Amino acid sequence: MRETGAGHGPGVAKRGTRSMAKDKNLPILIVDDYRTMLRIIRSLLRQLGYTNVDEATDGSMALQKLKTKPYGLIISDWNMQPMSGLELLKAVRADPDLKDIPFIMVTAEGKRENVLAAKEAGVSNYIVKPFNAETLRQKVEAVLG
């Protein structure tokens, strides 16, 4: 699993001495082309205490948002058009201002090749749909420390 270091530039929320998981105001970007899934993830994050959540419906919209505000976490689907979650991940990791943002893939794509491709691209964690609230909590806390 990719280790995320301290961020540089405007792309990553400032990381202090407290674990980011305890910062409930951490800006989180969720990306999915199904609006119902965006609502579900937003609701589950709200129950975990994270309320500073923005949404995008595909990778290219997400990239635009990432350049306008420092996010502390990206939670993204894979299968989206015109830009997929994997393409978004690669773009994030290739951008010096964004490369250290923790990135969780939440997707129905569960084949071994998919997980390995995401790992190769630098994913922080990987959740396969359908998932439950406890899994989301564990994976979010695992990447935020």
Partner 1 sequence: MTSTRIEGAPTFETVLHTLQQLVREMETQVHALSTRVRNEVLELSTIVDNVRREIRGLEPDDLKHRHIRAANDELDAVVQHLESATHDILNACEGLEAFTAHLPEDRHDDYLALLARIYESCSFHDLSGQRIRKVVETLKEIERRLGVLLRTYGADVAADGEERERDPLLNGPALPHQAPSQEEIDALLE
Residues that bind partner 1 (CB under 8 A): 1, 32, 34-37, 39-40, 43-44, 46-47, 78-79, 84, 86, 108-117, 119, 123, 125-133, 135
Type and span of the H or E element at 16: none
In the complex, least distance from residue 107 CB atom to partner 1, rounded to whole angstroms: 9
Q: Which residue lies nearer to partner 1 by CB, 48 or 70?
A: 48
Task: Enumerate the β-bridge partners of residue 31.
Answer: 56, 76
In the complex, least distance from residue 87 CB atom to partner 1, rounded to whole angstroms: 11
In the complex, least distance from residue 67 CB atom to partner 1, rounded to whole angstroms: 26
Q: Which residue lies nearer to partner 1 by CB, 16 or 110?
A: 110
In the complex, least distance from residue 69 CB atom to partner 1, rounded to whole angstroms: 25
Q: Which residue lies nearer to partner 1 by CB, 1 or 94?
A: 1
DSSP letter string over 116-140? HHHHHHT-SEEEESS--HHHHHHHH
Alpha carbon distance 46, 139 (integer Å): 15
Task: Enumerate the β-bridge partners of residue 30.
Answer: 55, 75
CB atoms within 10 A of CB 106: 23
